[in-house]
Amino acid sequence: MTVFDTDPSDLIPARKHLVIARLRRIPGVTALALLIILVYAAVALLAPFLAPHGEAEVVSAQPFLPWSAEFPFGTDQLGRDVLSRLLYGARNSTGIAFITTALAFVTGASLGLVSAVAPRWVDHTLSTVADMLMSIPQLIFALILLALFGSSIPSIILIIALLNATQIYRLSRSSARNTAALDFVEFARLRGEGIGWIASREILPNVLPTLIAEFGLRFCFVFLTISALSFLGLGIQPPSADWGTMVREGATFISYGDITPLVPAAAIAVLTVSVNFVVDWFLDIASGLKDER
């Protein structure tokens, strides 16, 4: 048993100072991207309080009103306030994408860790199932399943989470197998530790940075997939506001010089780019590629 001269609790302030120092060295573009993500999160949480009108409330008898002081982004084809639906769309689009990504992450990462330390037949079975699901184009597979089971929100979450869990499983399994071959994991096995203990206490801390980065990237893929499905009419269904649906409903009016459909499209693009900037910065910090002096 190792005896430490320093109380482990004394290390907490040092860690806090290290975190603060790293946050102060964030590049300007990354800091802006992080701020944008926080703004999106705040809008999603506070949408009912920020929106001037209800999510499906018809506020004008005349559809497609131009931008004005009363309706900053005009009205849609039913006379609903586009700004209000844009704010509610932040809650629906990003919220459902986050829940879906979290479910896919927990499922895929857990199975990948188990597969790396479990008997060979378990690894072979899980890998075969993952390969079968990955062999089918994701968007086409999602369209088929949603056509069979309906486009309810629970169906969207479960189907997209299942399809993305296979890719998270592959990454988690690959990273965990590399770690499982190291000496400290072998020592844990010799001590008689169980599979669950080895996976959670020995392997997971060493692959966690990679998995966290994958969570950010996977969120972008899920977010874009849900938006694409909504654009095709099989995603989040009306009257719920969704950015993909808003683009589809007003897409034909771009040819008439109305750029309102570009607003939700820009919201999708800005969030995706911002998340990628933050993920790239996190990977640089976690891998030590950036000089932290």
Q: Where are the domains of the chain?
A: 27-287
Looking at the domain covering 27-287, what would its CATH class be?
mainly alpha
Q: How far is CA 195 from CA 40, 166, 167, 204, 207, in A?
A: 40, 21, 22, 12, 16
Structure tokens at 139: 């968007």
Question: Which pLDDT belongs to residue 96?
Answer: 92
Residues with Cβ within 8 Å of residue 178, at least 6 apart in sequence: none
Residues in the chain: 293
Give the model's pLDDT for residue 57.
87
Per-residue pLDDT tens over the stretch 170-179: 999 888 888 8
Residue 251: DSSP 8-state? G
pLDDT beneath 50: ranges in the chain: 1-12, 14-16, 289, 291-293
pTM metric for this prediction: 0.83
Q: How far is CA 250 from CA 19, 66, 143, 235, 284, in A?
A: 45, 13, 22, 16, 40
What does the pLDDT read at residue 35? 94
